[in-house]
Chains A and B, each alone.
Chain A
Amino acid sequence: MKQQIIVSGVGGQGVVFATRLLAHAAMESGHPVLTSENHGMAMRGGTIISHVKIGAFHSPLIRQGHADLGLFLNRENLGIHGGMMKETGTLFVNTPFPGAYRHCDATGLARGAGAVVAANLVLLGFAVRTGGFFCTAGQLEEVIQRISPPKQLELNLKGFRLGLEAQRSS
């Protein structure tokens, strides 16, 4: 099993948290995992990307054109990190606007539920339900329960479940 996933967004959107969830889910499901993240100055609202590599890899970075799955927390980043995707890769984009990707208005859904900070979880729920991930929605939900800060737990679960629902109704 080898899978390469990118998570793209801007600092403050929860890119790193989504990355950690995927890394933990990989370990729980028995896969070796390597991720790479941005920290420091880039986190102040700048464009950031995380790489998640599941399987027997040595390098934490994904090559241009080699990502199987892409989670884009904003659509503007397609022009910046879209080139990381395989031609056959699957894109999940947080946007109300349709395009050459699977989309879900994660921010809109999260705001509607009073959980605007959990848009990252909405998109993750939407993506994992749509399929093609190394892990199941149940495994991710368990990880959310386990590693969320206590104050955030309820909002995170709410966001994740909103994402799962969004898939069913669309």
Chain B
Amino acid sequence: MSQYEERILMGNEAIGRGLVECGCEFIAAYPGTPSSEILSSAVKFVRKTGVHTHLEWSVNEKVAYEAALACACTGKRAAVAMKQVGLNVAADPFMRSAYLGTKGGFVLVAADDPGPHSSQTEQDSRFFALFAKIPVFDPASPAEAKDMVQQAFALSEKYEIPVMLRPTTRVCHARQNVPCGRPEVLNRPPRFEKDPGRWIATPQFLPDLHRQLNEKMDRIAGEDALRPRAFRGGGSQPRRCVIASGVAFAHAYDLLADMGLLGRIDLFQVILSHPLHKGFIEEIRSDYDAILVVEETYPVIETQLINERVTGRRSGHIPNRGELTQDVVLRVLEKFLNRTPDPATRTAPEKGKRPSLCAGCPHRAAYWAIKTTFPGGLFPSDIGCYTLAMNFGAIDTCHCMGACISQAEGFYFAYADEKNPPAIVVSIGDSTFFHAGIPGLINAVLHRARFILVILDNATTAMTGNQPVPHLGITADGSPGRAVLIPDLLKACGVSFIRECDPYDMEALSRHLREADRHCRSEEGGVAAVITKHPCLLDHGAKGNETLWAMTVSEDCSGCRQCLEEFECPALVFNDETGKVDIDDTICAGCGVCVAVCPLGAITAREK
């Protein structure tokens, strides 16, 4: 077999593999769509090739960033991967790392989500790169993303600067045939060179570090190898050009080909979105009158061109929000090129089916107990599968990772002087609690806030593909770590009321919740915690997920739809012919929880 072979890889797999091929010795990440598969594919590739690389699912992105950066400061290559809002969490170490720089290559993969498909914002991480003054690569395909990992490491080492690789959902979750090689083994010994003016960098050192950073960026903006790639038009459309980057370039390229205009109008692909090549900015200023910039999601290239003839997202020629699908880019190009529009899409598509919690999901049982125990309660919640509880009205907020606990404190004090303050019941997943919930809890306890904290412990990070959580004591590659237990953490945070139960046992859960409410309202009360423990049903190795019950719906069903609307289990389906509810045996998990939901007792369970 030759050293190089072609493989079908998802963009994230290409990036994960690319990092390992580059001899990266430390990769840290926190899962989040669309970035999650980067680390898991690196784990698989490291296992297969036996190279020495430390791989970790860190507790959050800030920790991941700091740990990986420190490793890079010893001269080794290191990388960190996260979704775009993860970089908000890591913003503090990120911003400063531009000033202090790195020794070994340091690559930050920040995966953006134009649309957004699976995020709380559609922010553009390239703006973050501009803000921090670091370079950012903007790949258009999985194969290109893998190539850019290599380029990013090289650039990072040449200038001792962190480098960002910014793929978007359509690159992360595309598949392509990608050339693959073997991992490079660098065997660099760790050499942390003590340099207080750099690694401690008190304010007196910062003006000079800032000057050095500016110089680095100025030199990078003159790197001809990173100048936008030109596809010349042969002069038939003089002084007119299209500039694009990322997957928006891929769309523009194919659309121009469809129009027969490829090779007939100047097209540029921007490789490094920031800093934009100085010579390129000059060329665009002097050689073109009509300029269209197509990029996702914010006008980063457009902003740097500083040119009143540029059209794009800022000028209103392209919608100033949202994903640029081929159909959007088509309309933009037609207008820019004064072409008759292609016949419009035939039909306005119907809306699809929204996602919902899986059949048998333990979260659904927990929410049913919360909702029925506290009608009129206030329910701050957070980010995870359980955000889907909004479908059946069981949660009231979702802001950013860990926010629900601080929100509960805010709500508590807002209502504290009311005569009948509502019960405040917070729900947060186990992984989210570890990620950013703990400081908020300490703060709430310190300030004597009173609310019920429900930790939905399904023993995994479910939404992003079942990554391990700290209380299992398992690391990214499956090797044992030291478990950090939730009840121990709660106690250490000053919570004195702690109960645990399986949410399938809704009577027990409801009892715990009522007791917790009494604790909150008692004289010495404070935060009361209830941990609901049942493994995620998608976690195939988990015990306790055996089908227990065979479910049936009797003739007594009146078709009132309460179970469909208030409980929304996908295994309960309305039969239009009979006007009653049926059980879909192909997906029913046999949890038996829906028995309690039917007001007529028409849902029954028989032991299997």
Interface residues of A (CB under 8 A from B): 10-12, 19-20, 23-24, 26-27, 32-47, 57-65, 76-77, 79-83, 111, 116
Which chain B residues lie closer than 8 Å to A63 at the CB level?
Answer: 326-327, 330
Q: Is B33 an interface residue (CB 8 A)?
A: yes
Chain B positions 356-386 with a Cβ under 8 Å from a chain A Cβ: 356-358, 385
Which of B33, B176, B177, B355 makes the CB contact (< 8 A) with A11?
B355
A95 CB to closest chain B CB (Å) equals 16
Quick check: B174 and A35 within 8 Å, CB to CB?
yes
Q: Please, how many residues of chain B have a CB less than 8 angstroms from a CB on the other chain?
A: 52
Q: Is B8 an interface residue (CB 8 A)?
A: yes
Interface residues of B (CB under 8 A from A): 6-8, 10, 33-34, 36-37, 117-118, 140-141, 170-171, 173-177, 247, 249-251, 253-255, 325-327, 330, 345-347, 349-358, 385, 387-388, 463-465, 570, 586-587
Which chain B residues lie closer than 8 Å to A42 at the CB level?
Answer: 117-118, 355
Quick check: B170 and A83 within 8 Å, CB to CB?
no
Most chain A CB atoms below 10 A, which of B171, B176, B345, B357 = B176
Which chain A residues lie closer than 8 Å to B10 at the CB level?
Answer: 37
Lowest 10 CB-CB distances: which A-B pairs, in order? A47-B352, A40-B33, A46-B355, A40-B118, A44-B355, A58-B250, A60-B174, A79-B350, A59-B250, A64-B345
Quick check: A33 and B177 within 8 Å, CB to CB?
yes
B325 nearest in chain A by CB position? A61
Quick check: A38 and B349 within 8 Å, CB to CB?
no
B575 CB to closest chain A CB (Å) equals 15
Which chain A residues lie closer than 8 Å to B255 at the CB level?
Answer: 59
The answer to whether residues A80 and B351 also contact, given A40-B33, A44-B385, A59-B254 and a CB cut-off of 8 A, is yes
Which chain A residues lie closer than 8 Å to B464 at the CB level?
Answer: 40
The answer to whether residues A33 and B175 also contact, given A59-B251, A59-B254, A65-B346 and a CB cut-off of 8 A, is yes
Quick check: B8 and A23 within 8 Å, CB to CB?
yes
- Bound Cα distance from A63 to B586, whole angstroms: 34
- Bound Cα distance from A45 to B364, whole angstroms: 15
- Bound Cα distance from A35 to B172, whole angstroms: 11
Quick check: A60 and B117 within 8 Å, CB to CB?
no
Which of A36, A77, A82 makes the CB contact (< 8 A) with B174?
A36
Which of B174, B330, B465, B587 makes the CB contact (< 8 A) with A34?
B174
Quick check: A39 and B173 within 8 Å, CB to CB?
yes
Which chain B residues lie closer than 8 Å to A80 at the CB level?
Answer: 349-352
Quick check: B352 and A41 within 8 Å, CB to CB?
no
- What are some 16 contacts across the A-B interface (CB < 8 A)? A20-B8, A33-B176, A34-B141, A34-B176, A39-B33, A39-B465, A43-B355, A45-B353, A45-B356, A46-B352, A58-B140, A60-B141, A61-B247, A64-B345, A77-B352, A83-B346
A97 CB to closest chain B CB (Å) equals 14
- Bound Cα distance from A129 to B181, whole angstroms: 36
